[in-house]
Structure formats: C-alpha cells, structure tokens
Amino acid sequence: LLLKVGPAEHASLSLFVSADTTQLPTSVDWRNKSVLTPVKNQGSCGSCWAFSTTGALEAQYAIATGKLLSLSEQELVDCSHKYGNDGCIGGYMGAAYEYINSAGLDQESTYPYKGWDEPCRPREKKADGIPAGEVTGVHLLAKTEQSLMKALADAPVSVAMYASDPNFRFYRSGVILRVLATCNGETDHAVVAVGYGADKGSDYFILKNSWGSKWGIGGYFFLKRGVGGHGECNILEYMLVPTLKSR
C-alpha cells in the first residue's frame, strides 16, 4: 500500500491494449525460471507501486538479456515526483515506467532502499541497471483473465488490487476466494503477477507481494481465478506490462 490509479498513468509512453486469446498454457510459474529477485519488503513506506514496477521490469529484462538485476525502488521513491508520484505517500506504476524511460534506473546496490522519502540523489554517470530509453512503452491489458494469462505466458505483470482487508494482511496459505468482501471496486495496492495454475480443481493466479518473505507463502500468495467481474480482490482492474527495446 499505497497505489494511485489515474490520469498520470496515461503519460507520454506508448500505450497498447491487448486482445484476448484462447491458446494458453495450462499453467505458468515464473518462480522457478530464474527471472525473479528475492521477495523484498517495502516496510511502512507506501511504495508498493515502486516494487510492482521493478518486479515486472526485473523479470522482463532478465528474460530479454539473461541478466537478473535487483533494481532500485528507492530511486523511484525519491526521483519520480515530477512524473506524478508521491514517494511513500503513493504512486503510479505507469509514471514510474515513464521516469525509467527518461532517466534509466540504478541497481539496488547502487541506490539502496531506505523505506522513507529522501532527496533525489543526482546521477553522476549513466544508470547501472536499466539504461534510459530501454523502456519504450507500457502495455495496458484488457480487464479479463484471458488477457492476464496471455501476458503471463510471456512475462510477469504489474497489477493493482484491493488489499486493506485483515484477511489479506494476515494471509498465510491457500487460495484466496471471496474473503475480501469490502473490495467495492477499489484498488489500493500493487504487486506482481508471476503465474497461474490449478490445484484439486481450484484455479488460481500466483502473485509476488512486497511485504517480506515471512508474509504469506514465502512472500507470495494465490488468488482464485474464474470469479467473474474484475477478479478476486479486483486483480483484473489495472494490469501493466512494460515493453523493452531489448525484447
């Protein structure tokens, strides 16, 4: 928490809307493909939007280049204000991708995470993570399970959801199904969708959170598929995939 969704998402990057398809793998799980960094922890800072951004981008870049980099969420917190983000108060994944397109993004080791707002550190040389211009666009998915599944067959996806219910905050295991009765069409958190599958007839999406590895199932959780509308916890409401020059 906190996520913003609004006009700042429709910034100067190219924006595409995907079409559905029925030709999909029966299951996808990027956790065992060496394209995901270890689960991170945003702490008390409302920077979920930054972790959702880096999580999807780390995976896309690893798929494209074979190099898995841990990217700097703190740089996004500190430096992307002019694109519409508010650091630990909240932000937009689309605005974060626009910043990265313009400025590039350092690795976490170069610009480590603090968990609070700090002044933007001037860059003395080119970004050592993602170079400027590497992110060429943002793919906005249609609000359907088919669109998300199609995208997940290619790479992890930045997604928004509703996460303020205690049932989610204290989640430990299993597939979440209609426990969040207070969603009301809202989204207030951003995570990374990393796969989908089925277990004993229960279809689910696999998602990576940013609340540390002690939360949930090693920092991951499962949401029920096939519930209609905008999905369990509104997971289909807002889904973004960065497009890279190297892909």
Residues with catalytic annotation? 48, 189, 209
For the residues of 35-103, what is the DSSP string, one character each?
--PPP-B-TTS--HHHHHHHHHHHHHHHHHHS----B-HHHHHHH-GGGT--GGG-B-HHHHHHHHHHH
Other CB atoms within a 10 A radius of the CB of residue 238 amount to 22
Using alpha carbons only, give the angle 196, 15, 229 rounded to the nearest 5 degrees.
45
Is the alpha carbon torsion for 131, 247, 145, 222 positive or negative?
negative
CB 196 within 8 A of CB 218: no
Distance (Å, rounded) from C-alpha 108 to C-alpha 192? 18
User: CA-CA distance, 247 to 245, in Å (whole number)?
Assistant: 5
For strands 239-244 and 157-161, give the pairing: antiparallel
Strand 220-224 relative to strand 175-176, pairing: parallel
Residues 6 or more apart whose CB falls under 8 angstroms from that of 133 comprise 101, 104, 245
Nearest to 148 by CA among 179, 194, 92: 194
Q: What is the dihedral of CA 5, 7, 10, 11, to 10 degrees?
A: -110
